[in-house]
Structure 1
Amino acid sequence: MGTEDGRFDPLLLNIAQQCQGIDGLLEVFLSFLRRKTDFYTGATASKVEETILAAVRKQMGMAQRTQQEELRTREAEEARLQERMRMAKLKGKANQKAKDSNAVTMDAATLSHTSQTNVVELGADGSFDVASTAATKEPKEEKPKLDADGEEEKEEAPPGNGGATDRYVWTQQLAEVAINVPVPVGTRSRDLSVDIGKKRLRVALKGGATLVEGELYKPIKVDDSFWTLEDGREVVISLQKENGMEWWKCAIAGDPEIDTSKVSPENSKLSDLDAETRQTVEKMMFDQRQKQMGLPTSDEQKKREMLEKFMKQHPEMDFSGATIK
């Protein structure tokens, strides 16, 4: 009969719980052999000890081999994880270098429009003066791209209203932020050390590398925030914003920021909000669209309506020079 089939595990676990420890469990087994078998009397004392020690050495050897295999697997996964992070970092540096190069090219193009020019200034009495000044040619303004309906195309919102670094990926909704941190395959919850503070986050492998550590972009509600381990390969951290009415530019302070003006909450999520919050969010979205189109916001519309109402009530007054502030 094999010793690793686990068929007696439930029974043995029950016995171990009642014995409250390894010493008590061993005492039960050895007592059973004394009371119900001739294990001690049917052989010499040296044979009894040799049999017990042989079984102990066998199990100890198996445990050590399993531990070594798990350690090698974890080290290999950590090495692969570090390599992925290194490659992502190199890619990020390459992208940044390309952006810097484009910026330098644009600056050079802008400078090329500037030249020294002699300007003739004509006075009211017919006199004139020649002065040397820097005349700057304005770069040609590019016309905005239009969509099929003739309206100006809008840049797409960042995926998940968040971003990615070489250590983690983050997304957000108006009231919460989710941070996904990759970990070596086979990682267990007890292998992790995750500390969630009001303004700080740390994710590390116990006795190993620190994966994410830093100050959060904004304060959070610690009691409503939590983390889970998914498929032994990714830590998912859910953070509840202390201010559930603002978008974050980044998850960890100092990491690349997103343009929150491009953030677009999913309409399907508005139904999850309470009536007051939903009304506020919809007002924010409406005002944002109005500003993008150069139209009055909801507050400006109300002021205009009040002025028009007042004008109707007082036709004798002259409002030709009235402005709305």
Structure 2
Amino acid sequence: MDGRFDELLLGLAQKHKGIEDLLYTLMTFLERRTDFFHVKDGESDAKGFKEGEAEKLLKKQFCEFQARYLARSQPHLLAQPAQGQLGGYAAAASQASASRQQAPMGVNPSPLEGGDPGLWERHQNQGQGFSWNQTHQEVTVELGVEPCKAADLKVALLAKSVSIKRKGETILEGKLFDKISSEDSTWHLDSGKQVVLNLEKIRPAFWPGLFEGSGPGSS
């Protein structure tokens, strides 16, 4: 998951003179302590990669993460005509889009990537009576209610749906975009006037919408 090792990696980066120096350390670790650079010497060789595969892996990762950065910080470059280096940017964006679901242009899906938590999610759900934000691992939903006690609420967190009822009245209900772990998901009543859901995703991934049909392009 993005951001898990940020503190560790920042500490490592601070001990280097620059990106090239840091990359050298990472590469020498792979060369000394792993079989990343080992070229398979036949089908029976269990170590390393076939010739050229390791290079392709590095290039794929570079293209994917450069495209994510450009979409977030320099989206104007992706809108340029496909010529010269700019064509390379467009190709990188296309590759990244094909390999994983992307956040809306210029918006981070997760605060772990340094963006505003819930920026796009707040915009998407304006006027719907609730707010939500997410990381790749979990979703948080906040819903204002009239002052009440937890005993007045009936909350159901199922694998593919959620439901909140207050004194028998349904105040939020829907089929989720993807499955959650009902055992690991929780809820609580904050200050007697706000229901907070903490939903643990089964698959770490960015959701384009909280509910089915609520993502980009839906009516």
TM tier relative to shorter chain: 0.3 to 0.5
TM-score, length of structure 1 as denominator length? 0.30
Larger RCO: 1 or 2 (CA < 8 Å, sep 6+): 2
**What TM-score, normalized by structure 2, do the two folds share?**
0.44
